[in-house]
Amino acid sequence: MSDGPARRIASPAWLRQPAMAALLDTLGEARFVGGAVRDTLLGLPPGDLDLATPLEPIETLARLERVGIRTVPTGLSHGTITAILADDTVVEVTTLRRDVETDGRHAIVAFTHDWAADAARRDFTLNALYLDRSGGIWDPVGGLDDCLAGRIRFVGAPLQRIDEDVLRILRFYRFQARYGRGTPDAEARAACRRRADRIDRLAGERLQTETRKLLGATDPTPTARLMTEDGVLAAYLPGPFHLDRLAALVPIEPSADPIRRLAALLDTGAGTAVAERLRLSSTDRDRLVALTGTNAIDLAAGDRSQRTALYRLGVGFYRDFTLLAAAGRGQPERARPLLALADAWDNPALPIGGRDVTALGIEAGPAVGRLLRLVEEWWIEGDFRADRAACLDRLTELAALAQA
């Protein structure tokens, strides 16, 4: 690394907190690295705080415990200790490292005092920037200009970085969607194309995390298009991919929703296979399967039909299906009034229940549910206007017919 920082910035507020100062006083030479530095330079709030130090992990642990800073030995063999500061700020403290051996998923590391060696093992140049407590930005691999220009470049040889961890292919596109500006790095894309056939080796949880983050970008469509062109999406998701529907969905969404965006991208019926591949939770699986199934929303139907759909689907699914229908059918202007209707919807409850049925002499069992469903259908067809007395009258009529 050079003899001094490449640039100095005003020390950010998060770095000036008393608890942070106490941590840095304890560790001595230490510099923040990665996302917190990148985001600070871009005027964004920092996410995870990662601190690099030349101290060996055992020494780091001893120093922190000596001054009463809570610690968790998160990944001691890899040099990482979680420090929980007095103000509850969480900082991951990791000893400088160099890779000894990698297999495309995991790495065997050795500890080092060499900041440049630590930078050389990182994925992208904009993630290999270091920030000291006085605001000095240390830039061993040329990441500062890349960060400010929105260039996503691998550190060193792209193929070597990918061979160390295949997940870096998806991270490249995710970072392109989040931070990239201008033409994507051609050498990086070429390397991703060459190694795309290895993506399927990755665990579903890792694929899920990167896919969610990608689809949570302000507009992931241009990057999803690159991934399609480069054979990356098809390496772990079933096609065909509906990029135009995704593009139409983004500007009409109230907020970014990765599951809904994934449903927009996928073909009908693909939800089950994708949920299994990405190891989605049961809730997200059921939602994705539903959203990649039949969409029965009639965008042109009147308010009465829309209220029926709201009642049957629930507000959440109604919103999802409305947005997907408007995007898929090229009618984005239809979404706004229907979303407003959903926002104002107060879901009504059927005014009668099972006790009202048994009070008429109907024995508890399947017949009770059948009668309630018949009354409910009649109540829905009447646009939910019938009150309890009217529903009881209808129930009595139906019960009499059933007992005749």
Residue range 302-343, pLDDT digits in tens: 999 999 999 999 999 999 999 999 999 999 999 999 999 999
Match domain 1-149 to its CATH number in 3.40.50.720, 3.30.1370.60, 3.30.460.10, 3.40.250.10.
3.30.460.10
Say yes or no to pLDDT of 107 above 70: no
Provide the pLDDT confidence category of residue 403 given band limits of 50, 70 and 90: confident
What are 2-61's pLDDT values in tens digits?
Answer: 578 999 999 999 999 999 999 999 999 999 999 999 999 999 999 899 999 999 999 999
Q: Give the chain's mean pLDDT.
A: 94
C-alpha closest to that of 47 among 83, 17, 89: 89
Say yes or no to pLDDT of 347 above 70: yes
Say yes or no to pLDDT of 74 above 90: no
Q: What is the 3-state secondary structure (H, E, C) of the chain?
A: CCCCCCEECCCCHHHCCHHHHHHHHHHCCCEEECHHHHHHHCCCCCCCEEEEECCCHHHHHHHHHHCCCEEEEEEHHHCEEEEECCCCCEEEEEECEEEEEECECCEEEEECCCHHHHHHCCCEHHHCCEECCCCEEECCCCHHHHHHHCCCCECCCHHHHHHHECCHHHHHHHHHHHHCCCCCCHHHHHHHHHHHHHHHHCCHHHHHHHHHHHHCCCCCHHHHHHHHHCCCHHHCCCCCCCHHHHHHHHHHCCCCCHHHHHHHHCCCCCHHHHHHHCCCCHHHHHHHHHHCCCCCCCCCCCHHHHHHHHHHHCHHHHHHHHHHHHHHCCCHHHHHHHHHHHHHCCCCCCCCCHHHHHCCCCCCCHHHHHHHHHHHHHHHHCCCCCCHHHHHHHHHHHHHHHHC
Token pair, residue 303, equals 């308010």
- Cβ neighbours around 245 below 10 Å, total: 20
Say yes or no to pLDDT of 101 above 70: no
All structural domains of the chain with their residue ranges = 1-149, 155-293, 294-344, 354-403
Provide the pLDDT confidence category of residue 392 given band limits of 50, 70 and 90: very high
CATH architecture of 155-293: Orthogonal Bundle (1.10)
Token pair, residue 395, equals 């129930």
Interval 89-113 mean pLDDT: 81
* Chain center to CA of 208: 8
What pLDDT shows up at residue 3? Answer: 75
Token pair, residue 73, equals 């030995």
What pLDDT shows up at residue 18? Answer: 95
What pLDDT shows up at residue 296? Answer: 87
What pLDDT shows up at residue 260? Answer: 98
pTM of the entire structure? 0.90
What are 165-211's pLDDT values in tens digits?
Answer: 999 999 999 999 999 999 999 999 999 999 999 999 999 999 999 99
